[in-house]
Amino acid sequence: MNIRQHTIQKSVTVSGVGLHTGVPANMTFLPAKPNHGIKFQRTDLEGEPTVDADVDNVVDLSRGTTIEQSGARINTVEHTLAALVGMEIDNVLIQLDGPEPPIMDGSAKPYIDALAEAGTEEQSALRNFFEVKESVHFQDSSRNVEIAALPLNDYRVTVMVDYNSPVLGSQHATLNDIKDFSKDIAACRTFCFLHELEMLHKNNLIQGGDLNNAIVVVDKKVDNDELDYLADLFNKPKVEVREEGILNNVELRYKNEPARHKLLDMVGDLALVGRPIKAQILAARPGHAANVAFAKKLKKAMKARDNSNVPHFDTQLPPVLDINQISNMLPHRYPFLMIDKIYHLDDTTVCSTKNVTMNEPFFQGHFPGNPVMPGVLQVEAMVQTGGILVLNTVPDPENYWTYFLAIEHCRFRKMVLPGDTLTIKCELLAPIKRGIAKMRGEAYVGKNLVCEATMSASIVRKSS
């Protein structure tokens, strides 16, 4: 799995009709900044409102997953989201001039192909994984559905379906590596049973359905009158079927294509958790309603464990900036370079670490026999961390000085001792204007806040 966040290199557009609404639409993927996430934008509505791809925005599950925010609705988002997860794309704006993404051929492959054409671009920020630490379970006895997320330092999905159908029988599909999604899962098309068609059509669904974008499973004998009705429904001169099989005798791309498509749907629906997931997902007879209910349960577990004020530092991940790169940006040197690693950096936020050891030179004179890190040096570590954030806004940081103008509301909460690791977070309080930045700085040891301050800085070009 990718460690850093990714977006696309350039915009790309796909066009077609929506599966359920039947409305033609153009959908354009655009690059986005780190931590932007996945957002849809209805360009055909007044004000061009955006809709976050978030499980809390789900409003309808009629044969697909529909989200809505600020009066803007996006129908059937699961295939689009699955393609983005499969490509490990974290940040993108999806502009849509209609109510529903184009269904294309009923799979995620046309989206994958378009995104591959746009190309992906690695970004400086690390991905904010939700790593399942304790098993999460969901069960719907009325539908015989069971889903579980088990701890795993990776993302794997296994799906089992059983429709009590002589055509499909019991099937399962597995995705062991997200990088295999494009070749093993993406091309699998949506499907329904023949006995469901009339009900779907009467409920104003599948208005854009066609035998080119959906598999229709025939699990009963069909007489000529019904075949004529189906030909009329799909605007075809003629349709045919073997005694039991697939309408119009469409060839399956995989023997277990329906199970693989259910896996595709689950990947897309679980994207609504809002963060890339590390877990083993096991699902028996899932559907959109169960997927979304499970995604809500995962998000609840994520929020319960998350303390958004405490910066999360994963020692297994590589730094965004190591000590050599930090030294290229900051003019400080031993013994006054107070940060060791930058592990998160975007347009508004930076996070660093400082390992406090007994070998620090200031311990020789600061409370010998009772070593405590001086509070002013904790502030200096925050100041240098904030300096990285400010210098990151210019293309040639080596040609600038950062001077701090003010430190306000400074508080020291707990002592910092040898053996502690400081994790420091600085966040802009407002956009930088005329070279002046104001930011909030916080330093933690574990989950304990040890120091906080509001800081103002000025960025000045070095004189030649």
Catalytic site positions: 288, 366
Element (H, E) at 8: strand 4-8
Cite the beta strand spans of 9-53 per DSSP E.
12-17, 24-31, 38-42, 50-52
CA distance 328 to 314: 24
Cis peptide before 49 (omega within 30 of 0): no
Name residue, tokens 């779907």.
200
Strand partners, 12: 29
Element (H, E) at 175: strand 170-175
CA distance 3 to 100: 31
Contacts of 296 (CB under 8 A, 6+ apart): 55, 56
In one letter, which amino acid is 243? E
Q: What token pair was written down for 87?
A: 């490509």
Question: Which is nearest to 270 in space by CA: 257, 283, 284, 254?
Answer: 283
How many CB atoms are closer than 10 A to CB 12?
18
Element counts in the chain: helices (H) and strands (E): 9, 25
Contacts of 422 (CB under 8 A, 6+ apart): 353, 354, 355, 356, 378, 381, 416, 443, 444, 445, 450
- Report in angstroms the alpha-carbon separations of 226 from 208, 233, 234: 20, 10, 12
Strands 155-162 and 277-284 come out as parallel
Dihedral sign from CA coordinates of 300, 179, 285, 110: positive
Specify the long-range contacts of residues 48-55, CB closer than 8 Å, at least 24 apart: 50/93, 52/274, 53/77, 53/81, 53/271, 53/272, 53/274, 54/272, 54/274, 55/272, 55/273, 55/274, 55/292, 55/295, 55/296, 55/299
Q: What token pair was written down for 19?
A: 């599966």
CA distance 380 to 375: 9
In one letter, which amino acid is 306? D
Dihedral sign from CA coordinates of 27, 29, 35, 38: positive
Contacts of 352 (CB under 8 A, 6+ apart): 339, 340, 341, 342, 343, 381, 384, 385, 388, 423, 424
